[in-house]
Amino acid sequence: MSNLSRRKLITTGLAATAGASGLAVAANLAHRYGLIPPDHGGIYGAGETLTYGAQRLLTRHSLAREFPRSQISTKPVANGETPQDEAFKRLHAGGFTDWRLAIDGLVARPASFSLAELKSYPSRSQITHLACEEGWSFIAEWIGVPLSHVLTVVGILPKARYVVYSSMQRGWWDSVDMADALHPQTLLTYGMNGGELPVGHGGPLRLRVPRQLGYKNVKYINRLTVTDSLKGFGKGLGSASPEYGYAWYAGI
Partner 1 sequence: MADPALVRSPADVFPAITNTARHTAFVRITHWITTLCFFALLVSGIEIVISHPRFYWGETGNVFTHALFQLPIPASRSSVLTGYGYVLPDQNGWSRYLHFQAAWIAVLTGLLYLGWGWLTRHFRKNLLPGRADVSRRALSIEIANHLRFKPPGEAEAWSYNALQRLTYLFVIFVLFPLVIWTGLAMSPAIASAFPAAVTVFGGQQSARTIHFFVSVFLLLFLLVHIVMIFLAGFRNRMRAMITGRAVKHMEHA
Among 17, 71, 120, 229, binds partner 1 (CB under 8 A): 71
As measured in angstroms, the least distance from the Cβ of 212 to partner 1 is: 6
Q: What is the phi/psi pair of residue 158, to 5°?
A: -60, -25
Alpha-carbon distance 26 to 193, whole Å? 45
How would you list the strands of the sheet with 173-177, edge to edge?
111-114, 100-105, 221-227, 162-167, 173-177
> SS3 for 120?
helix
* Count of positions on this chain that bind partner 1 (CB under 8 A): 41
| Of 219, 216, 206, the residue nearest 251 (C-alpha) | 216
Query: H/E/C letters for each residue in 152-203?
Result: HHHCECCCCCEEEEEECCCCCEEEEEHHHHCCCCCEEEEEECCEECCHHHCC
137 binds partner 1 (CB under 8 A): yes
235 binds partner 1 (CB under 8 A): no
| Of 9, 217, 25, 193, the residue nearest 133 (C-alpha) | 217
33 binds partner 1 (CB under 8 A): no
| Of 221, 217, 190, the residue nearest 95 (C-alpha) | 190
As measured in angstroms, the least distance from the Cβ of 131 to partner 1 is: 6
Among 8, 31, 65, 89, binds partner 1 (CB under 8 A): 65
As measured in angstroms, the least distance from the Cβ of 142 to partner 1 is: 14
114 binds partner 1 (CB under 8 A): no
23 binds partner 1 (CB under 8 A): no
As measured in angstroms, the least distance from the Cβ of 96 to partner 1 is: 27
63 binds partner 1 (CB under 8 A): yes
As measured in angstroms, the least distance from the Cβ of 170 to partner 1 is: 19
148 binds partner 1 (CB under 8 A): no
**Positions in 175-234 near partner 1 (CB under 8 A):** 210-213
What ranges in the chain are assigned the alpha helix state H?
A: 2-32, 45-59, 86-93, 115-120, 147-154, 178-181, 240-243
- Contacting positions for partner 1 (CB under 8 A): 44, 46-48, 50-51, 55, 58-59, 62-65, 67, 71, 73-75, 77, 79, 129, 131-139, 210-213, 241, 244-247, 251-252
